[in-house]
Amino acid sequence: MTAAAWWQRVRRVLGRRELRSASFGSAQQTVSLVASAVVGVVVARALTTSDFGLYSAVVSLVAIGTAVANGGIGTLGIKILLDDPDAQNRSVSAFLLLRELLAVVAFLALVGVAQLTDPATTVPAAVAGLALFAKGLDCTDAWFQSRVRTGAVSLVRIGVVLVLLAARVVAALVSPTITTFLLLYVAEAVLSAGAVALTYLRSAGSPGFGRPQPRRAWGVVVRSWPLLLANLARQINLRADVVLLVGLAGTGAAGIYTVAARLSEIAYFLPIVFTTATFPALLAARREWGAGSARYRATVQRSYDRACWAGVAIAAVTFVLGPPVIDLLYGSRYGEAAGVLRIHVLALPFVFMSAVLGKWVVAEGHLLQTLSRQAAGALVNVGLNLVLIPAAGIRGAAVATVASYVVSSYLFTFVGGRRGVGGGALLPAGVQMTKALVWPLRLLRDRSRRGPSTDGTDGATDDGTTGAAGP
C-alpha cells in the first residue's frame, strides 16, 4: 500500500478533529516518554545505586497500584458518557468516587507489599503512594476524549511534565536525596491531575460534577472489572521484576536492573507509535472488505510481518549500541545493565506483534482473552523471577521478563478452546504471528515461485495466504 493510499484510508475513518486530537495525544506521549528517560538519567546519576534502586522499586509499586486505582475505566468511561449524555456530570462524579475508593485499597496494598518485600521500602512507598489519590482526578479526561477534545488536556500535561523535569534537574544540583525526588514525583501527579480537572471545569459545555451516586459507581465496577484486572496484570508483568529484585537481591541490584529496564521501556513504546499509525488503516480494511475477507486477513498479516521485523531491527541496533549508551548516560557503575538490556531486547519482536494483536483483539471483540493472556504473562513473570533471581541475579530477572512477553504475546494464542477464556479464540493471530517470524523465508519462496512482488502485498494471494500452505 502506498503512503497516499494509506492516508486516504485513514481520512475515511477519521475526521479532521479526530486526527488533530490523535496528534496532540501522540505528542504528549512522546514528550512524556522522553522526559521520563531524562528523569531516569538525572535521578540515577544524582543518587547512589542503592538509593536509585529503592526509588525505582517504590515508583514501580505505585505504577501497579495505579492500575487498580484507575478502576479500568479508560475507554469504558468514554462509552458510558456517550451512552448517557444527560447524566454526564453524575457519571464523572461516579468515576471520581470509584477511583478514590480504589486508591485507598491500592495504597494499603502497596504499603503492605513494601513491608513484606523489604521493611526499608515502607516509608518511601507510603510517600510515593500519595500520588494515587491525586490521579483520581484524571477521570475527567474521559469527558474530553468522548468529545474528541484532548488537545487542551495534552498541552496541560506537557507543560506539567516539562516544569517538573526542570525541577528535578535543579534538585539534582541542589538537594539530591531520595526524599526530594519522591516528593517531586507526588507533586507531578498532583499538578497534572489538578490542572486537567481545572481545565475540565472551565471548558465550554463542561457538565461539571454532579452528586456522587454509589449505585452508579458500583455499576461502573460491574462493567469495568475485566479491564481493571487486565491492566493490573499488565503492570505486574512490567514492574514486578524491580520490586522482587529488592527483596531477593537488594536495592543495589534493583538500581542496576532499572537502568536497562528504562531503556527497554523506550524501545517497548515504539510499537505503540507503530500501531497508532496503522490501526486506522486496519479498521478501514475491516469495514471495507469484511472481517472474513482475504484482503482483510492479508492486511493484518502485513501488519504482523512489519511489526515483527521492525522489532528485530531495533533489537539488533540496541544490542550493539546499548552498552556504550549506558556507559555514556549513566556511568561505569551501571555497566552490568548492558547485559540485562541485551536480554530484554530479545522480546522486541513479540512486543511489536503484541501491539498489533492488542488492536486486532479490540477490532474483533475478544476482550476476555485480553485479561487471560495478561494474567498468564504476569504469573509467568512472577513465578520465573522467584526462581531465577536467586540463581542468576539481574540477568535471571531479564530472562523472566522476556519469557513472560513470549507467553502472553504469542504462545497463549494457542492455548484453550475458541469459546473459553483461553487463547483459542486468538488462534488465527497466533498462526499469523508464526508466519511473521519467518517472513524473509516467505519472501524468498514467493519470489522463487512467482517472481518479485511489485504491489507491496508481500505476494499475498486473494485468499490472504502467501501462495502455499503453512508458514
- Burial classification of residue 438, based on how many CB atoms lie within 10 Å of its CB (0-12 exposed, 13-18 middle, 19 or more buried): middle
Q: Out of 249, 275, 303, pick the residue that ends a domain.
A: 249
CB-CB contact of 234 with 374 (8 Å): yes
Low-confidence ranges of the chain (pLDDT < 70): 1-26, 74-79, 146-150, 212-213, 216-217, 270-285, 362-363, 365, 367, 416-424, 450-471
Calpha distance 206→200 (Å, rounded): 6
Classified as helix, coil or strand, 462 is coil
Range of the domain at 171: 16-249
Kindly state the cell numbers that stand for 441.
523465508
Full DSSP string of 215-273? HHHHHHHHHHHHHHHHHHHHHHHHHHHHHHHHHHH-HHHHHHHHHHHHHHHHHHHHHHH
Angle of CA points 265, 188, 337, to nearest 5°: 30
- Same domain? For 257 and 395 the reply is yes
Please indicate, yes or no, whether residues 258 and 243 belong to a single structural domain of this protein: no
In a domain, 264, yes or no: yes
| Residues constituting the chain | 471
Query: Does residue 11 form part of some domain?
Result: no
Q: Are residues 272 and 392 in the same domain?
A: yes
DSSP one-letter code for 414: G
Helix (H, G, I), strand (E, B), or coil: what is residue 47?
coil
Return the exposure string of 300-313: e unless at least 16 CB atoms fall within 10 Å of the residue's CB, then b.
bbbbbbbbbbbbbe
Angle at 81 between CA 153 and CA 105, to 5 degrees: 75
pTM above 0.85, yes or no: no
* Burial tier of 206 (Cβ tally within 10 Å: 0-12, 13-18, 19+): middle
* Residues 134 and 192 occupy one common structural domain: yes
Whose CA is closest to 134, among 186, 91, 179? 186
- What pLDDT, on a 0 to 100 scale, did the predictor assign at position 435? 95
> Rounded to an integer, what distance in angstroms lies between the CA atom of residue 192 and that of residue 181?
16
Provide long-range contacts, Cβ within 8 A and 24+ apart, for 12-17. Answer: 12/284, 13/280, 13/281, 13/283, 13/284, 13/287, 14/280, 17/148
Which of 223, 249, 275 is the C-terminal boundary of a domain? 249
Question: Residue 468: what pLDDT?
Answer: 34
Angle at 428 between CA 423 and CA 432, to 5 degrees: 115
Is there a domain that residue 335 lies in? yes
- The CA distance from 468 to 112, in Å, is 56
Indicate left, alpha or beta for 440 from its phi (over 0: left) and psi (-120 to 50: alpha). Answer: alpha
- Residue 244 shares a structural domain with residue 256: no
What cell does 79 get? 462509552
Short-list 35, 10, 34, CA closest to 23: 10
- The answer to the question of residue 44 being in a domain is yes
Give the Cα separation of 154 and 98 in Å (integer).
24
Query: What whole-number distance in Å separates Cα of residue 471 and Cα of residue 133?
Result: 50
Q: Are residues 219 and 364 in the same domain?
A: no
Residues 188, 276: one domain? no
Residue 108: CB atoms within 10 Å: 12
Tell me if 5 is assigned to some domain: no
| Other beta carbons less than 10 A from residue 381's beta carbon | 27
Q: Which three cell numbers stand for residue 3?
A: 503512503
SS3 (DSSP) at 315: helix
Phi, psi (degrees; rounded to nearest 5) at 2? -75, 165
In angstroms, the CA 255 to CA 261 distance is 10
Q: Is residue 271 part of a domain?
A: yes
Q: Do 241 and 337 belong to one domain?
A: no
Residue 386: CA count within 13 A, CB half-sphere: 6
Same domain, 210 and 276: no
Torsion of CA 134, 239, 277, 16, to 10 degrees: -10
Q: Are residues 262 and 121 in the same domain?
A: no
Q: Do 309 and 412 lie in a common domain?
A: yes
First to last CA, the chain: 22
Amino acid 25: pLDDT:
64
Please say whether the dihedral angle defined by the alpha carbons of residues 260, 265, 266 and 270, taken in this order, is positive or negative.
positive
What total number of domains does the chain contain?
Answer: 2
Cα-trace Rg, the chain: 23
* Last residue within a domain, chosen from 249, 272, 302: 249
Domain membership flag for residue 94: yes
User: Is the domain of 327 the same as that of 181?
Assistant: no
1 domain residue, yes or no: no
